[in-house]
Structure 1
Amino acid sequence: MNRRDYRYIVLGLGGIGSGAAYWLARTARHDVLGIEQFDLDHVRGGSQDHSRIIRLSYHTPGYVRLAQDAYVAWATLEVDSGEPL
Protein backbone atom coordinates (compact mmCIF):
# COMPACT_ATOMS: atom_id res chain seq x y z
CA MET A 1 0.00 0.00 0.00
CA ASN A 2 1.34 3.43 -0.87
CA ARG A 3 1.42 6.06 1.82
CA ARG A 4 -0.19 9.36 0.96
CA ASP A 5 0.01 12.56 2.95
CA TYR A 6 -3.01 14.81 3.27
CA ARG A 7 -2.99 18.37 4.49
CA TYR A 8 -6.57 17.98 5.74
CA ILE A 9 -8.53 14.95 6.92
CA VAL A 10 -12.25 15.39 7.59
CA LEU A 11 -13.91 12.79 9.83
CA GLY A 12 -17.62 12.47 9.15
CA LEU A 13 -19.11 13.45 5.81
CA GLY A 14 -22.58 14.55 6.80
CA GLY A 15 -23.86 18.02 6.04
CA ILE A 16 -21.07 19.84 7.87
CA GLY A 17 -18.18 17.48 7.13
CA SER A 18 -18.88 17.13 3.42
CA GLY A 19 -19.24 20.89 3.12
CA ALA A 20 -15.94 21.41 4.92
CA ALA A 21 -14.17 18.86 2.72
CA TYR A 22 -15.63 20.39 -0.45
CA TRP A 23 -14.60 23.96 0.40
CA LEU A 24 -11.17 22.91 1.66
CA ALA A 25 -10.51 21.05 -1.59
CA ARG A 26 -11.86 23.95 -3.63
CA THR A 27 -10.07 26.81 -1.90
CA ALA A 28 -7.08 25.48 0.05
CA ARG A 29 -5.44 23.81 -2.96
CA HIS A 30 -4.21 20.92 -0.83
CA ASP A 31 -5.11 17.25 -0.66
CA VAL A 32 -8.20 16.51 1.41
CA LEU A 33 -9.32 13.09 2.62
CA GLY A 34 -12.90 12.58 3.79
CA ILE A 35 -13.73 9.57 5.95
CA GLU A 36 -17.31 8.44 6.67
CA GLN A 37 -18.25 5.38 8.70
CA PHE A 38 -21.73 4.90 7.24
CA ASP A 39 -23.06 4.21 3.74
CA LEU A 40 -24.39 7.01 1.56
CA ASP A 41 -27.97 8.03 2.39
CA HIS A 42 -27.96 6.53 5.90
CA VAL A 43 -30.44 7.68 8.57
CA ARG A 44 -28.03 8.19 11.47
CA GLY A 45 -26.98 11.79 10.78
CA GLY A 46 -28.16 14.95 12.46
CA SER A 47 -29.39 16.43 9.18
CA GLN A 48 -31.43 13.38 8.19
CA ASP A 49 -35.14 14.12 8.26
CA HIS A 50 -37.85 15.48 6.01
CA SER A 51 -38.25 18.62 8.14
CA ARG A 52 -34.79 20.15 7.56
CA ILE A 53 -35.06 23.54 5.85
CA ILE A 54 -33.02 26.62 5.07
CA ARG A 55 -34.65 30.03 5.31
CA LEU A 56 -33.73 33.71 5.35
CA SER A 57 -35.96 34.75 8.24
CA TYR A 58 -34.08 34.80 11.55
CA HIS A 59 -34.20 37.07 14.58
CA THR A 60 -30.42 37.52 14.62
CA PRO A 61 -28.87 39.45 11.70
CA GLY A 62 -25.78 37.23 11.81
CA TYR A 63 -27.88 34.17 11.01
CA VAL A 64 -29.51 35.99 8.11
CA ARG A 65 -26.07 36.76 6.64
CA LEU A 66 -25.02 33.13 7.09
CA ALA A 67 -28.18 31.94 5.34
CA GLN A 68 -27.62 34.39 2.47
CA ASP A 69 -24.07 33.09 2.07
CA ALA A 70 -25.42 29.53 2.18
CA TYR A 71 -27.77 30.23 -0.73
CA VAL A 72 -24.80 31.48 -2.77
CA ALA A 73 -22.77 28.40 -1.77
CA TRP A 74 -25.62 26.07 -2.81
CA ALA A 75 -25.82 27.80 -6.20
CA THR A 76 -22.04 27.46 -6.62
CA LEU A 77 -22.18 23.77 -5.73
CA GLU A 78 -25.01 23.25 -8.20
CA VAL A 79 -22.96 24.82 -11.02
CA ASP A 80 -19.77 22.95 -10.04
CA SER A 81 -21.52 19.59 -9.84
CA GLY A 82 -23.73 20.03 -12.88
CA GLU A 83 -26.62 18.64 -10.82
CA PRO A 84 -29.79 20.45 -9.78
CA LEU A 85 -30.03 20.73 -6.00
Structure 2
Amino acid sequence: MVVTGNEDGAHHVISEISGALADLGYTIPGQAWTYWHLGPGPGPDHLDDERGRDWSHRTGRAMAANLYGVASALAARPVGAPPG
Protein backbone atom coordinates (compact mmCIF):
# COMPACT_ATOMS: atom_id res chain seq x y z
CA MET A 1 0.00 0.00 0.00
CA VAL A 2 1.36 3.40 -0.93
CA VAL A 3 -0.25 6.30 0.91
CA THR A 4 0.16 9.84 -0.34
CA GLY A 5 0.44 11.89 2.80
CA ASN A 6 2.52 12.77 5.82
CA GLU A 7 2.93 10.63 8.91
CA ASP A 8 -0.22 11.33 10.96
CA GLY A 9 -2.75 10.86 8.18
CA ALA A 10 -0.77 8.07 6.54
CA HIS A 11 -0.69 5.98 9.72
CA HIS A 12 -4.43 6.44 10.13
CA VAL A 13 -5.17 5.43 6.53
CA ILE A 14 -2.78 2.46 6.73
CA SER A 15 -4.39 1.15 9.92
CA GLU A 16 -7.93 1.53 8.57
CA ILE A 17 -7.21 -0.17 5.23
CA SER A 18 -5.06 -2.92 6.79
CA GLY A 19 -7.72 -3.63 9.38
CA ALA A 20 -10.46 -3.84 6.76
CA LEU A 21 -8.40 -6.15 4.53
CA ALA A 22 -7.50 -8.40 7.49
CA ASP A 23 -11.20 -8.62 8.40
CA LEU A 24 -11.88 -9.86 4.86
CA GLY A 25 -9.19 -12.53 5.17
CA TYR A 26 -6.27 -10.97 3.33
CA THR A 27 -2.74 -11.80 4.44
CA ILE A 28 -0.86 -8.59 5.17
CA PRO A 29 2.88 -8.98 5.71
CA GLY A 30 4.91 -6.63 7.87
CA GLN A 31 6.00 -3.38 6.26
CA ALA A 32 3.36 -3.72 3.55
CA TRP A 33 3.13 0.05 3.16
CA THR A 34 5.07 3.24 2.54
CA TYR A 35 4.32 6.94 2.61
CA TRP A 36 6.16 10.24 2.34
CA HIS A 37 7.95 10.51 5.68
CA LEU A 38 8.51 13.98 7.09
CA GLY A 39 7.35 13.32 10.63
CA PRO A 40 4.09 14.26 12.31
CA GLY A 41 2.00 17.24 11.39
CA PRO A 42 1.29 19.11 8.18
CA GLY A 43 4.09 19.80 5.76
CA PRO A 44 4.86 20.78 2.20
CA ASP A 45 3.59 18.84 -0.78
CA HIS A 46 5.66 15.82 -1.89
CA LEU A 47 6.32 17.44 -5.27
CA ASP A 48 7.65 20.62 -3.62
CA ASP A 49 10.22 19.02 -1.29
CA GLU A 50 12.95 16.41 -1.73
CA ARG A 51 13.10 15.51 1.98
CA GLY A 52 11.68 12.15 3.02
CA ARG A 53 11.99 10.53 -0.39
CA ASP A 54 14.94 8.28 0.55
CA TRP A 55 12.95 6.83 3.45
CA SER A 56 9.94 6.30 1.20
CA HIS A 57 12.07 4.55 -1.42
CA ARG A 58 13.73 2.27 1.18
CA THR A 59 10.43 1.26 2.76
CA GLY A 60 8.94 0.81 -0.71
CA ARG A 61 11.68 -1.68 -1.58
CA ALA A 62 11.17 -3.46 1.77
CA MET A 63 7.43 -3.54 1.09
CA ALA A 64 7.94 -5.13 -2.33
CA ALA A 65 10.36 -7.74 -0.94
CA ASN A 66 8.01 -8.65 1.91
CA LEU A 67 4.99 -8.90 -0.38
CA TYR A 68 6.91 -11.12 -2.79
CA GLY A 69 8.16 -13.33 0.06
CA VAL A 70 4.69 -13.85 1.48
CA ALA A 71 3.17 -14.42 -1.98
CA SER A 72 5.84 -17.03 -2.72
CA ALA A 73 5.21 -18.77 0.60
CA LEU A 74 1.44 -18.80 0.03
CA ALA A 75 1.92 -20.10 -3.53
CA ALA A 76 4.00 -22.99 -2.18
CA ARG A 77 1.61 -23.73 0.71
CA PRO A 78 -1.81 -22.20 0.05
CA VAL A 79 -4.17 -21.57 2.91
CA GLY A 80 -7.52 -23.22 2.24
CA ALA A 81 -10.88 -21.57 2.43
CA PRO A 82 -12.40 -21.33 5.89
CA PRO A 83 -14.78 -24.14 6.85
CA GLY A 84 -18.44 -23.60 6.38
**Higher-strand-fraction structure:** 1
**Higher-helix-fraction structure:** 2
* TM-score (normalizing by structure 2): 0.30
Structure with the larger RCO, 1 or 2 (CA within 8 Å, 6+ apart): 2
* TM-score (normalizing by structure 1): 0.30
